[in-house]
């Protein structure tokens, strides 16, 4: 075993946050060592955004950001996001000549490939003379004589500061582990129970009710979870799957959903369907299914046919629209505007994009990401109880928290 002379900083986890922090600290003149158990680094960046990495979101510009994050203390993000914001990361891309494009709702993606961002972070680390140790399992971490000692299978590394950037539990096949939570607990931190988030939802009896026949159908919806001030609503696309529901609307609401809660889905959010059906019917000779197509063209034909084949609407589908009583039309509209579904669970960490919960931010300084309990210990990125919405918010949190910590080291 080689025992290395003390460095200034050891960063555990060479993902988005870890590489960013190591690069910035190295460029500020600190001796930095980056350690990861995976041999291929930045794997989540590589697979993100369908291979194009949705690296930030312009909605964070000029906004304190708290509304886009799920946490016991969402306001925790405000300082870091103001110190290093979406525009700062875009400038970094520009310095590296990386082209990007804006898509839906302020989401910025690489124009060519997510690997451009991994290469950028590697170049930034090289500029900061960061030392790398990948494919090396961490056996234990101790704190003695004001130094952290990280023991791996081959070596012992030491430093006065330790940055934990080991992420959450999502996508274990590419290196995710609960290591960061265990380490946090070792130094007295509490953990908000980690749960899969941005994850497809499942339903009991989905197939026996025939919903699997709708697999592949996608449409814009408004999905609601909770009630009163606690209610969350997302207007996004929904996708029917063989085993349940997915698509951006469901992924977003999954970060707020608690087991036992019913979701209310408006399958036709653009229209007051009851009024349109009741007021528009006079003198209409077309059938109800045709009427629905005309009134709500965003409702896919397969969904309309499926809905009208269900009791109590089965008898109505082929009737002339004008002949159908208002109370039937109102009931049909209500069923499409207030579809109540009770998820039985989700697809788990394997299919989740992120983990909600994590190291309790009440025990972390929001200006520096330093532990309030243990000297020289820092947490950055997804390992903390900070979970962004779908749309580039999670990577922006990784960049912003990493830069804040690096400036404080
Ligand atoms: P990250 O998970 O990136 O890195 C953690 C590192 O720690 C990894 O390299 C891992 O190998 C290492 N590690 C873990 N355990 C260890 C141990 N025991 N010892 C040593 N090393 C260890 N977000 C977004 O904003 N836009 C997007 O487009 C997407 N898309 C997306 C797609 C998919 C499929 C997933 C799974 C996730 C996303 N995300 C996303 C989420 C985003 O990838 C995530 O929030 C960030 O990568 C978090 O960055 P971190 O650096 O905190 O953790």
Atom 15 of ligand 1, nearest CA residue: 177
Atom 10 of ligand 1, nearest CA residue: 175
For residue 288, report the distance from its CA to the centre of ligand 1, in Å. 49
Q: Which of 46, 117, 178, 353 to mutate to test the pocket of ligand 1 (most atoms within 8 A of CB)?
A: 353
Please state the atom number of ligand 1 nearest to the C-alpha of residue 20: 51
Question: Does the predicted TM-score (pTM) go above 0.90?
Answer: yes
How would you classify the pairing of strands 244-246 and 232-240?
antiparallel
Q: Complex ipTM above 0.95?
A: yes
Please state the atom number of ligand 1 nearest to the C-alpha of residue 380: 52
Please state the atom number of ligand 1 nearest to the C-alpha of residue 43: 9
For residue 250, report the distance from its CA to the centre of ligand 1, in Å. 21
Q: Residue 109: CB within 6 Å of ligand 1?
A: no
pLDDT in tens, the chain (409 residues): 899 999 999 999 999 999 999 999 999 999 999 999 999 999 999 999 999 999 999 999 877 899 999 999 999 999 999 999 999 999 999 999 999 999 989 999 999 999 999 999 999 999 999 999 999 999 999 999 999 999 999 899 999 999 999 999 999 998 899 999 999 999 999 999 999 999 999 999 898 889 999 999 999 999 999 988 889 999 999 999 999 999 999 999 999 999 999 999 999 999 999 999 999 999 989 999 999 999 999 999 999 999 999 988 988 888 999 999 999 999 999 999 999 999 999 999 999 999 999 999 999 999 999 999 999 999 999 999 999 999 999 999 999 999 999 999 9
Q: What are phi and psi of 266, to 5 degrees?
A: -95, 110
Q: Which of 134, 305, 276 is nearest to 217 (CA)?
A: 305
Q: Residue 108: CB within 6 Å of ligand 1?
A: no
Atom 43 of ligand 1, nearest CA residue: 44
Cα separation of 251 and 191, whole Å? 23
Query: Which residues, including other chains, have CB under 8 Å from residue 399's CB and lie 6 or more apart?
Result: 16, 17, 20, 56, 84, 88, 89
- Specify burial of residue 288 (Cβ count, 10 A radius: 0-12, 13-18, 19+): buried
For residue 391, report the distance from its CA to the centre of ligand 1, in Å. 15
């Amino acid at each position: 075993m080689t025992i290395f002379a003390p460095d200034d900083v050891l960063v555990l986890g060479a993902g988005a946050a870890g590489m960013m922090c190591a690069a910035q600290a190295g460029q500020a003149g600190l001796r930095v060592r980056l350690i990861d158990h995976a041999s291929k680094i930045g794997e989540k960046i590589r697979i993100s955004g369908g291979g194009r990495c949705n690296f930030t979101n312009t909605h964070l510009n000029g906004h304190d950001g708290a509304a886009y994050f799920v946490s016991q203390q969402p306001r925790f993000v405000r300082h870091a996001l103001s110190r290093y914001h979406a525009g700062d990361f875009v400038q970094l891309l520009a310095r590296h000549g990386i082209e990007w494009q804006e898509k839906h709702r302020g989401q910025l993606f690489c124009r060519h490939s997510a690997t451009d961002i991994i290469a950028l972070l590697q170049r930034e680390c090289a500029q900061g003379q960061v030392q790398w140790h990948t494919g090396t399992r961490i056996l234990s971490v101790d704190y003695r004589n004001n130094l952290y000692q990280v023991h791996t299978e081959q070596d012992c590394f030491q430093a006065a500061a330790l940055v934990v950037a080991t992420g959450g539990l999502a996508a274990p096949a590419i290196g995710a582990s609960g290591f960061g939570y265990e380490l946090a607990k070792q130094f007295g931190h509490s953990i908000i129970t980690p749960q899969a988030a941005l994850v497809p939802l499942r339903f009991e009896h989905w197939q026996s009710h025939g919903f699997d026949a709708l697999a592949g159908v996608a449409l814009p919806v408004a999905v609601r979870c909770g009630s009163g001030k606690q209610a969350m609503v997302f207007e996004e696309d929904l996708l029917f799957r063989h085993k349940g529901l997915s698509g951006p609307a469901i992924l977003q609401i999954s970060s707020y959903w608690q087991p036992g809660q019913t979701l209310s889905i408006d399958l036709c959010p653009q229209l007051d369907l009851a009024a349109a059906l009741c007021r528009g019917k006079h003198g209409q000779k077309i059938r109800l299914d045709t009427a629905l197509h005309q009134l709500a063209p965003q409702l896919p034909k397969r969904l309309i046919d499926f809905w009208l084949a269900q009791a109590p609407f089965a008898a109505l589908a082929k009737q002339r629209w004008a002949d159908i009583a208002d109370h039937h039309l109102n009931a049909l509209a209500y069923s499409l505007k207030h579809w109540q579904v009770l998820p039985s669970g989700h697809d788990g960490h394997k299919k989740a994009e992120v983990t909600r919960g994590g190291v309790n931010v009440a025990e972390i300084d929001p200006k520096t990401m330093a532990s309030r309990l243990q000297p020289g210990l820092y947490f950055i990125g997804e390992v903390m109880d900070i979970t962004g919405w779908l749309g580039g918010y999670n990577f922006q949190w990784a960049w912003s928290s990493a830069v804040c910590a690096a400036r404080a080291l």
